[in-house]
Amino acid sequence: MPHVVESHAHRQVRSTLTDLAREINGLPLDKFELQQLESLNIHIDPLTPDATSAHKPAYFASYPDHCVPEPKIDDVGGAYNGLDDETERSLTRPADRAYVMNIHLSSYISYYDLNAKEERVPWISRCVGDSAFENSGLYKHDQPEFGCYHIAELNDPAYPHIKAVMYNNMVATDSTILYGELISILRIMLTQLRRQKFIHQMVTPVFIISLMGFQARVMEAFFRDGKMVLRPTKLYDFSHGNHNAFKILAQWYIGKPIGITTLAS
């Protein structure tokens, strides 16, 4: 493969995100209020999977619900009931509860992946250790503990989009962003920008499903026009199970990449 020279604009995006990641990493904070993020030139914008909404995704479409048969409980490995399934021996840290939730989420994703009626985008999902992100710093074992269960990409240099399912050992609110969420997003973006096959890509969109205790949310993130943008959904509550929310997350996870990523920043 011939050597491709990095453009000044691309290098500037990398430099800006590197500086931002260093600044975030140097702050003694486990979570960030939205006002704090705005002071760091990180813009917060709401997100919903509804394609007709003004807050629809910019880079990650949800797979159409009508294109997958309604899953029965047996199709997705049994019911998930949150607190109602716990016993006195259950592990109750947010990270432990997220682990159990991820087992059920993975069953929903597999069901939607296998039963999609229309053409499905060929996302390649791997554990972090078997991916280009092995050394990206997507795990932290001391508090605030966080990690990434699996990460998905497309084998196509035209699509720098990344999807990931992660966990946190803290529970956010709708008015806070966790350190683990933010630093993971930045490190994923930087890894993409360093890969030669994406040397012409100016936007490296990231989609995460963030699991924490009995709560979960989706976050779309991108750096464009000189500004970092985070777009979280409202928290989905799984305290007593949430079949519909599992469906929404699975549909979104197998959905297609959208948006233009070669625009100069």
pLDDT digits (tens, 9 = 90+) for 96-123: 999 999 999 999 999 999 999 888 899 9
Q: In whole angstroms, how far apart are CA 10 and each of 29, 196, 261?
A: 30, 12, 12
- Is 102 inside a domain boundary? yes
At 157 the pLDDT is 96
- Is 142 inside a domain boundary? yes
pLDDT classification of 17: cutoffs 50, 70, 90: very high
- Is 146 inside a domain boundary? yes
- Is 178 inside a domain boundary? yes
* Total domains, the chain: 1
Residue where the block lists tokens 């979280």: 232
From the centroid of its chain, how far is CA 191?
Answer: 15
Cα(63)–Cα(153) distance, integer angstroms: 16
pLDDT in tens, 45-104: 999 988 889 999 999 999 998 899 999 999 999 999 999 999 999 999 999 999 999 999
The DSSP secondary structure of 201-239, one letter per residue, reads: -S---EEEEEEETTEEEEEEEEEETTEEEEEEPPPEE-B
The DSSP secondary structure of 29-53, one letter per residue, reads: -SEEEHHHHHHTTEEE----S-TTS
State the residue range of the domain holding 90.
8-254
pLDDT classification of 265: cutoffs 50, 70, 90: very low
- Is 260 inside a domain boundary? no
CB atoms within 10 A of CB 88: 4
- Is 151 inside a domain boundary? yes
pTM of the predicted model, to two decimals?
A: 0.95
Check pLDDT > 80 for residue 264: no
DSSP letter, residue 134: T
Cα(232)–Cα(35) distance, integer angstroms: 15
Q: In whole angstroms, how far apart are CA 138 and each of 230, 244, 258?
A: 18, 29, 25
Q: Is 15 helix (H, G, I), strand (E, B) or coil?
A: helix
- Is 261 inside a domain boundary? no
Mean pLDDT of the chain: 95
- Is 113 inside a domain boundary? yes
Q: What is the rounded end-to-end Cα distance, in angstroms, of the chain?
A: 26
Cα(101)–Cα(213) distance, integer angstroms: 8
